[in-house]
Amino acid sequence: MTKKIIICLAVIAALALGVLYGKGLLSVHQGFQPPASLAVLQLEKAPKPAPDVHFSDAVGARHGLDAFRGRYVLLNMWATWCGPCVNELPSLARLAEFAPGLKVVAIDTDSTKVDAAGFLKSHNAGSLPVYVDSDHMMLRSFVVPGLPTTILIGPDGKVIARAEGPADWGSVDAVAYFKRITGT
């Protein structure tokens, strides 16, 4: 009789957690507070699907965020004229190197055509893939008030966290944080 009660309570608890998660009232990322070095990164209370937006690579091929589904993605929007953006580019490259479970997607949002590959290389971030959003669809779709803005997207395609402003993405604490949440 006691075994049946324990099993019934476990089933009820599992159903309740499933309902809370399904309604967005409970997140699997709760308790994953970023370290002090990433104080600018704020977890979303109720993660929502990332917009279906596209951007180009160095040769002009179009890509969508859906191509990265199944992986954690750190989407960073930057521009050559943005001092804080330029300063954080090397730390994004370090993070990409040391947190293999995370896909770092740094997107140049300059209005004018620039040599993004050359720019990244000259600023110690040449290991980052070149992505460009010349039509500013990323900025509009993610409602970006200023640069740099960085969005953390979960494997399910939902926005988990957002940072408005620069951060030290390549710090030891930041790398450890992203390794922990990605399980790598």
**pLDDT tens digits along 50-105:** 999 999 999 999 999 999 999 999 999 999 999 999 999 999 999 999 999 999 99
Q: Please state, in angstroms and as integers, the Cα–Cα distance from residue 23 to each residue in 13, 44, 98, following that order.
A: 15, 14, 34
Residue 24 pLDDT exceeds 50: no
CB under 8 A, 24+ apart: contacts of 174-179? 174/34, 174/35, 174/37, 174/38, 174/91, 174/95, 175/94, 175/95, 175/98, 175/99, 176/35, 177/32, 177/34, 177/35, 177/38, 178/72, 178/74, 178/95, 178/99, 178/101, 178/102, 179/98, 179/99, 179/101
Q: Is the peptide bond before 148 cis (omega within 30 degrees of 0)?
A: yes
Residues 66 and 18 in one domain: no
Give the CA angle between residues 140, 56, 146 to the nearest 5°: 30
Residues 85 and 120 in one domain: yes
Mean pLDDT of 36-54: 96
Residues 24 and 44 in one domain: no
- The number of folded domains in the chain is 2
What's the predicted TM-score (pTM) here? 0.83
| 135 phi and psi angles, rounded to 5 deg | -95, 5
Residues 49 and 96 in one domain: yes
What is the span of the domain harbouring residue 145? 32-182
Residue 27 pLDDT exceeds 70: no
Residues 133 and 106 in one domain: yes
On average, the pLDDT of the chain sits at 89
DSSP state of 38: G
Residue 21 pLDDT exceeds 80: no
Residue in the structure block whose two tokens are 């308790």: 31
Residues 15 and 104 in one domain: no
Residue 9 pLDDT: 55
